[in-house]
A and B are shown apart, each in its own frame.
Chain A
Amino acid sequence: MTSVSAATAASPAYDDDIVKLFFTATVTWAVVGMLVGAIIALQIAWWPANLGLPWTTFGRLRPLHTNAVIFAFGGNICFTGIYYSMQRLLKTRMWNDTLSRIHFWGWQLIIVAAAVTLPLGMTQAKEYAELIWPIDVAITLVWVVFAVNFFGTIAVRKVGHLYVAIWFYMSFVLTIAVLHIVNSLALPATLTRSYPVYAGLTDALVQWWYGHNAVGFFLTTPFLGLMYYFLPRAAERPVYSYRLSIIHFWALVFLYIWAGPHHLLYSALPEWAQTLGMVFSLMLLAPSWGGMLNGLLTLKGAWGRLQKDPVIKFMVVAVSFYGMSTFEGPMMSIRSVNALSHYTNWTIGHVHSGALGWVGMISFGILYWLYPRLYRRGLALPGWVTTHFWLATIGIVLYTVSMWAAGLTEGLEWRAIGADGQLKYPSFLDIVAQLQPFYWLRLLGGTMYLVGAIMMAINFIRSAGARGVPVAEPALAAR
């Protein structure tokens, strides 16, 4: 990382130790979460990898993978970026250091509790909300601690106006609290088991209102906030349009929350709710692309850096994948498209183009940008960053293309009807057999992505040792 230049030099007034803690946790959980992903991808391609043990079967590890990548990796990178940028944007130290530590250690304990309970089969079986009720209570408490510290810091800020990144962070803090509490309302039967207060389709609607907005407000709005802080800094360009950021922020947070029922198209959910879900999902395209364009156009005049600065490479690919998956999402919300794509691997491909492409790539960009600024050291293996970038990019392409192919294959064959009016492929298992090559290809793509993340972790570890080149303070020119 020789292109280190613009940064607000860390003032002793800022608490960067908490940022370092979250940084370390991010890298650790990224590797763990993606490793579990590769394991379950292997299990689909080759069932003996389930090992015949209760705690290693796909049904128990799949929630571990989703929770680890969303809340452990995704959560920790959000907190890393928020604690770093917020102090600088508001020109003040976090309001309360103790609350910051409680937030950090509480969140990591929740992750460890998840990693223990999910393989033991302790689950509420609602996607991305599987964790059992005592952990749900802990999440609520830790989130309140975070929120108090967050708003406390805003209250003691030394600047007048809240920058656009802070608006997005705010929507994250508030909405996740609402979603988590409403969706987790349940009556405990035992210490580890509970039943939701909602039944049947109502439970389904509440869950997908939560589930889709976990994507919206855990994997989108905080990351847009991070984009608004870190992309202009890495590019050394101001945000393209202030006006666009206002319009797309309010449109995005208002529209996103309606989109959940698109997960229940053609289900027994009342028709009006399905229609609302579809219509609002389509409208969501506009503010999503508003964010993408504001990000990409911020690079206007800085495209030359794309060739030499790997941080910019990661960020450009991230924002491009954000645009692509927020186009694909609304398309998949159209009932007739959804009739084909729903229940298939296409959905898995869509999720991963967002998760690997947008969330993962912007996170890697931020981590590489932050490292020299946070630790005052250059990377021991700067060449590896570009290798990581290409492994990840090619890995995503292999992943999404194989899942599109698998999804279209199964989707079309499930519903194919012959001239005799009967199913053309009556054997479900025959269709399963055809998907095998795609599953291996997906595993290859996912493994490449994982190897890239491991290379990043090794790079940071090596840089911390003797091989890391100390970066002098003036090199990180203050802006």
Chain B
Amino acid sequence: MAQTDGQPEGFHRRLEGKGALFAILCTVAISIGGLVEIIPMFSAATGPEHLEGVTPYTPLELAGRDIYIREGCYTCHSQMVRPTRAEFLRYGEWSRAGEYAYDRPFQLGSRRLGPDVHRVGGKYPDAWHYEHMRNPRSTSPGSVMPPYPWLHEDRLDPADVRASVVAMKRLGVPYTDADVEGVPAQLRQQGTEIVARLKSAGITTDPDHEIIALIAYLQRLGRDGRAAIAAREAAAAPRAAR
């Protein structure tokens, strides 16, 4: 190479003649930042803050979360209310690290083509979500969201949901063996409750439709966290008053 020929002999010039050493130094250079940032995340003192009262997803919610992932909802919706006044007014309580303790993969998102959904749990009735997913413009005029009519026809496979619960348990999510065995029964029970609420709104459907799982997940979003934050603040209040 004419460009570097005739360069002064120096440390770097010698290094350029040693491929293996160059590769090792390069690996060291690209490793330091990652190690410094990632390792402290596994320590209680420097990692994400724990939030007492956040519980694992039920099997139906987990199935709903897998549907949320499958449909790529994260490409348009964030799950991270930032700690600003405007976000508090628009979405509610800002998001805490401990709320995501059982989120695998995380779904913070990077884009708000639609609104943040981290505090959507309990914001609308089940029937709203049912209609919104079938035809977003029926509940939200002017929305650019695509309709998801297949969720109202396709059905959950309990064995598939069980496989998810088993994997989560192996990863350390505190499910018991009884939880794993009880997956079909839990799916039916929580699904039936949602179907009953839909029925009172004039909608007839089955508890094993995918839309039921998605509603269970969306209605769960941010509720544990909100209750846990309120409880923590209530506990701290008397001390603050003193």
The answer to whether A187 and B170 touch (CB under 8 A), given A201-B97, A238-B2, is: yes
For residues 207 through 241 of chain B, which have their beta carbon under 8 Å from a beta carbon of chain A?
A: none
**B176 near A: Cβ within 8 Å?**
no
Partner among B48, B140, B150, B163 whose Cβ is within 8 Å of the Cβ of A200: B48
B30 and A428 contact, CB distance less than 8 A: no
A170 and B72 contact, CB distance less than 8 A: no
A201 and B100 contact, CB distance less than 8 A: yes
- A89 CA to B4 CA, complexed, in Å: 11
Distance to closest chain A CB from B60 (angstroms): 16
The interface stretch among B11-19, B122-130, B179-187, B189-197 is B11-19
Residue among A47, A182, A263 with most chain B CB within 10 A = A47
**A473 near B: Cβ within 8 Å?**
no
- A270 CA to B105 CA, complexed, in Å: 18
Residue among B49, B95, B100, B108 with most chain A CB within 10 A = B108
Distance to closest chain B CB from A171 (angstroms): 5
The answer to whether A195 and B171 touch (CB under 8 A), given A58-B146, A201-B106, A203-B106, is: yes
For the complex, would chain A's binding face be called helix, strand, loop or mixed by DSSP majority?
helix
**A146 near B: Cβ within 8 Å?**
no
A190 and B163 contact, CB distance less than 8 A: yes
Q: In the complex, how many residue pairs between chain A and chain B have their CB atoms under 8 Å apart?
A: 274
- A37 CA to B109 CA, complexed, in Å: 19
**B174 near A: Cβ within 8 Å?**
no
A432 and B16 contact, CB distance less than 8 A: no
The answer to whether A189 and B72 touch (CB under 8 A), given A268-B95, A347-B111, is: no
B106 and A343 contact, CB distance less than 8 A: no
B74 and A125 contact, CB distance less than 8 A: yes
Distance to closest chain A CB from B19 (angstroms): 4
Interface bits A318-346 vs B (CB < 8 Å: 1, else 0): 00000000000000000000010011100
Partner among A43, A253, A339, A433 whose Cβ is within 8 Å of the Cβ of B30: A253
- A63 CA to B105 CA, complexed, in Å: 16
Residues of chain A within 8 A (CB-CB) of B99 are 200, 268
A198 and B30 contact, CB distance less than 8 A: no
The answer to whether A62 and B72 touch (CB under 8 A), given A57-B148, A253-B30, is: yes
Residue among A178, A199, A339 with most chain B CB within 10 A = A199
Interface bits B18-44 vs A (CB < 8 Å: 1, else 0): 010011001101111110111011100
The answer to whether A205 and B166 touch (CB under 8 A), given A125-B74, A167-B26, A339-B84, is: no
Partner among B76, B86, B100, B167 whose Cβ is within 8 Å of the Cβ of A423: B86
Interface bits B66-81 vs A (CB < 8 Å: 1, else 0): 1001111111101010
Distance to closest chain A CB from B137 (angstroms): 8
A266 and B110 contact, CB distance less than 8 A: no
The answer to whether A163 and B146 touch (CB under 8 A), given A268-B95, A428-B115, is: no
The answer to whether A162 and B48 touch (CB under 8 A), given A59-B71, A199-B104, A423-B89, is: no
Residues of chain A within 8 A (CB-CB) of B146 are 43, 47, 50, 52, 57-59
For residues 394 through 431 of chain A, which have their beta carbon under 8 Å from a beta carbon of chain B?
A: 410, 414-417, 422-423, 426, 428-430
The residue of chain A having its C-beta at the shortest distance from the C-beta of B150 within the complex is A54
**A60 near B: Cβ within 8 Å?**
yes
In the complex, how many residues of chain A place their beta carbon closer than 8 angstroms to a beta carbon of chain B?
104
Residues of chain A within 8 A (CB-CB) of B48 are 200-202, 268-270
B160 and A190 contact, CB distance less than 8 A: yes
**A105 near B: Cβ within 8 Å?**
no
A254 and B29 contact, CB distance less than 8 A: yes
**A44 near B: Cβ within 8 Å?**
yes
A268 and B97 contact, CB distance less than 8 A: yes
- A179 CA to B194 CA, complexed, in Å: 42
**A175 near B: Cβ within 8 Å?**
yes
For residues 181 through 198 of chain A, which have their beta carbon under 8 Å from a beta carbon of chain B?
A: 182, 187-190, 193-198
Residues of chain A within 8 A (CB-CB) of B78 are 343
Interface bits A210-242 vs B (CB < 8 Å: 1, else 0): 000000010000000000000010000011001
- A202 CA to B19 CA, complexed, in Å: 35
For residues 153 through 177 of chain A, which have their beta carbon under 8 Å from a beta carbon of chain B?
A: 154-155, 157, 159-164, 167, 170-171, 174-175
Residues of chain B within 8 A (CB-CB) of A242 are 3-4, 7
The interface stretch among A28-36, A272-280, A448-456 is A272-280
A121 and B71 contact, CB distance less than 8 A: yes
**A260 near B: Cβ within 8 Å?**
yes
A270 and B107 contact, CB distance less than 8 A: no
B100 and A200 contact, CB distance less than 8 A: yes
A125 and B160 contact, CB distance less than 8 A: no
- A173 CA to B40 CA, complexed, in Å: 27
B29 and A163 contact, CB distance less than 8 A: no
- A454 CA to B241 CA, complexed, in Å: 69
**A3 near B: Cβ within 8 Å?**
no
Distance to closest chain B CB from A47 (angstroms): 5
Residue among A204, A232, A416 with most chain B CB within 10 A = A204
B105 and A203 contact, CB distance less than 8 A: yes
**B198 near A: Cβ within 8 Å?**
no
- A126 CA to B105 CA, complexed, in Å: 7
For residues 438 through 461 of chain A, which have their beta carbon under 8 Å from a beta carbon of chain B?
A: none
**B52 near A: Cβ within 8 Å?**
no
The answer to whether A162 and B160 touch (CB under 8 A), given A125-B69, A269-B97, is: no
**B138 near A: Cβ within 8 Å?**
no
A280 and B33 contact, CB distance less than 8 A: yes
Distance to closest chain B CB from A297 (angstroms): 13
- A428 CA to B113 CA, complexed, in Å: 10
- A452 CA to B110 CA, complexed, in Å: 29
A206 and B38 contact, CB distance less than 8 A: yes
A202 and B42 contact, CB distance less than 8 A: yes
Distance to closest chain A CB from B169 (angstroms): 10
Residue among A58, A207, A261 with most chain B CB within 10 A = A58
A423 and B90 contact, CB distance less than 8 A: yes
- A209 CA to B143 CA, complexed, in Å: 33
The answer to whether A170 and B23 touch (CB under 8 A), given A254-B33, A273-B37, is: yes
Q: Tell me the B residues contacting A by CB distance below 8 Å.
A: 1-4, 7, 12-13, 16-17, 19, 22-23, 26-27, 29-34, 36-38, 40-42, 46-49, 66, 69-76, 78, 80, 82-87, 89-90, 95-97, 99-116, 140-150, 160, 163-164, 166-168, 170-171
Q: Which 7 A-B pairs have the closest CB atoms?
A: A59-B72, A200-B100, A50-B146, A189-B167, A258-B33, A257-B33, A415-B86
Selected A-B contacts with CB under 8 Å, 23 pairs: A43-B146, A60-B71, A60-B72, A121-B71, A161-B16, A163-B16, A164-B4, A178-B27, A182-B38, A198-B104, A203-B103, A203-B104, A206-B41, A232-B3, A239-B4, A242-B3, A257-B31, A267-B82, A268-B96, A268-B97, A347-B110, A423-B86, A433-B142
